Amino acid sequence: VKILLLGKDGQVGWELQRALAPLGEVLALGHASAGEDCGDLTDTVGLARTVKRFNPEVIVNAAAYTAVDNAESEERLAFEVNAEAAALLARLAAERDALLVHYSTDYVFDGSGQAPWRETDPVGPRNVYGRSKLQGEQAIQTSGCRHLIFRTSWIYAARGANFTKTVLRLAAERDTLTMIDDQKGVPTGADLIADTTALAIRQLASGSRAHCGIYHLAAAGETSWYDYARHVLRQAQALGAPLKATDLAVQPVPSSAFPLAAVRPLNSRLNTSKLRDTFDLVMPPWQAGVDRVLTEILSK
Ligand code: NDP
């Protein structure tokens, strides 16, 4: 299988480089990739030329504008990368009957209620980032291309910027931490997302339209940022990390204590039964992946 991977240096893109390798020939491009092999999603001409030249059977788009708060003041760029580039990739995929794999977010929902969101639930993004990601999803769905869209949440990895690493840094600098306890969701490892992607591509690369569509992809269980932070610190302590703040020094606060440019949904839980049933997968508990990444980070 010929696979074009975009966004190779992001959290998910980095893990995809590893997970996609056994599937075939992978051309992995990043934001800075230019010339013959253009990986900049805002360079529509370069991107189209690259797809035409490489002629992939699968396009995996792990690139995105992910700066949620900055998106409030950079709406144009957020839509260019998350919506317009997704539409272009869908068109390019449709032209050659390639499979397009794309990622979206729990932020397409308004965060109401307590129940994990299903794929068929009504959307209602509360910030610019969520609206730009939703428009990207819709462009792919209406393009007619074979596609897989994975909506995921609270991504972490050993590489890249994420909450797990922020908690470790803050706990090394401060005696006490305050963490939001009224937003609920599921931390999901970039490695789990990449491995699930590879397994799904294996089932679809033959050209079948069966199983195309949108799926919720998250680890099992749920937590709040507060309990997530406490878990990280308990594990980090057990692994011998020198910390000023222990898990007992974390104070719970409501979202209102941390006013940010972009409003976050309170309920980010995702129901993953469609993914599990369709691809016959088991999603591991979120703690397992976090513990692995902590071991990796702290053993460096
Ligand atoms: P990252 O922010 O780690 O990686 C995104 C990558 O996209 C970066 O390498 C970035 O490069 C690149 N990028 C940004 N703009 C462009 C551009 N114009 N052209 C090409 N590349 C560009 O994202 P994640 O791996 O965490 O996210 C993967 C997917 O999952 C995304 O679709 C995201 O929207 C979605 N998602 C993420 C969540 C999270 O918690 N992070 C939660 C739910 C969904 P550079 O750094 O140079 O800008």
CA angle 278, 92, 119 (to 5 degrees): 30
Q: Which pLDDT value is given to residue 204?
A: 85
Residue to mutate, 42, 44, 66, ligand 1, most ligand atoms under 8 Å from C-beta: 66
Average pLDDT rounded to a whole number, residues 102-120: 98
- Among 149, 151, 153, 155, which residue has the most ligand 1 atoms within 8 Å of its CB, making it the best to mutate? 155
Residue 277, number of CB atoms within 10 A of its CB: 9
The answer to whether residues 268 and 183 touch, using CB atoms and an 8 Å cutoff, is yes
Nearest to 90 by CA among 78, 82, 98: 98
Tokens found for residue 256: 């209102």
When pLDDT is averaged across residues 261-269 and rounded to a whole number, the result is 97
pLDDT (0 to 100) of residue 36? 87
- The average pLDDT across 96-106 equals 97
d(CA 204, CA 243): 46
User: Is 107 marked active-site?
Assistant: no
- pLDDT per residue as tens digits for the range 273-283: 999 999 999 99
Mean pLDDT of the residues in the chain: 96
Q: What pLDDT is attached to residue 196?
A: 98
Report CA torsion sign: 257, 261, 266, 267. negative
Q: How many helices (H) and strands (E) does the chain have?
A: 10, 12
pLDDT tens sequence across 17-54: 999 999 999 999 999 998 889 999 999 999 999 999 99
pLDDT of residue 208: 76
Distance (Å, rounded) from C-alpha 73 to C-alpha 75? 6
User: Averaged over 149-177, what is the pLDDT?
Assistant: 95
